[in-house]
Structure 1
């Protein structure tokens, strides 16, 4: 079950979504920035891993409009994958791993002692040790 909080102003909109073990924030500021910040929590250990999709510092109104549209598509695809149970987390083991669908494989997100890292792995398949993020 998701919860949703929405904020809309003259400068854009902000959606905060949450499940039992994750939170996401989608920000749309049409004059400068579009982004999604996602954080998942391992229910057994409390460890967290984060994943971001955004337009960085590019001016999304002009020369980089096509790039911004691609980011919008990525955010929509991520939220659809999350809704459909295709964003996965590893069960057990020493580290917390999240898998996000990407092409023919996944982006593997791991939380180290200090930083969260992501690695795209074409052809990577999730086995029985992975379950949908709840």
Structure 2
């Protein structure tokens, strides 16, 4: 059933259930909230902080406004679940990196055979996909997110 794999990963990672369908994970410089409600919504809200500058970047994965209780949306819900699981597994194994590009705080992580670069500007957060890690790590000072 949709959500079962995600719940298993959350339990294995030691996530804390804060409500019936809400789970929390955190590290020294990041926090994640995961909502697992297979009849209504699946989502990840992730925020990381640069320990030196205090700058932050966010990244969200969710089923948006789609009615995932409908059979026609089941494949979409399972795809979102896979994306969230992949992100959490990358976080667990230290594959999520933080760095800078000028004054911008940047996150880089693998996703579906490519690399996602999340950059926080003055107002907006932007995500882009790159074929290789070096292209995604433009800027400097990239280290594992802790």
| Alpha-carbon offset, residue 32 of structure 1 | 1.1
Kindly indicate whether residue 42 of structure 2 is the aligned counterpart of residue 34 of structure 1: yes
More moved, 87-96 vs 28-37: 87-96
Alignment partner, residue 86 of structure 1? 95
1:69 — aligned with what?
Answer: 78
Q: How many residues align?
A: 130
Task: Give structure 2 stretches of 5+ with no counterpart.
Answer: 1-12
Alignment TM-score, normalising by the size of structure 1? 0.87
1:118 corresponds, among 118, 127, 145, to: 127
Query: In structure 2, how many angstroms separate the alpha carbons of the residues matched to 1:124 and 1:105?
Result: 8
Relative to structure 2, which stretch is displaced further, 57-66 or 45-54?
Answer: 57-66
Q: TM-score, with normalisation over the residues of structure 2?
A: 0.81
1:28–1:103 Cα change, 3 Å = closer
Deviates more, 1:66-75 or 1:85-94: 85-94
CA RMSD of aligned residues (A): 2.0
CA deviation digits over 1:58-107, x for unaligned, max 9? 11122111110111111111000000000000168422110021234311
- Partner residue of 1:6 out of 17, 27, 30: 17
8 A contact 2:50–2:56 mirrored in 1? yes
Structure (1 or 2) with the greater helix fraction = 2
Gaps of 5+ in 1: none
SS at 1:96's partner residue? Answer: strand
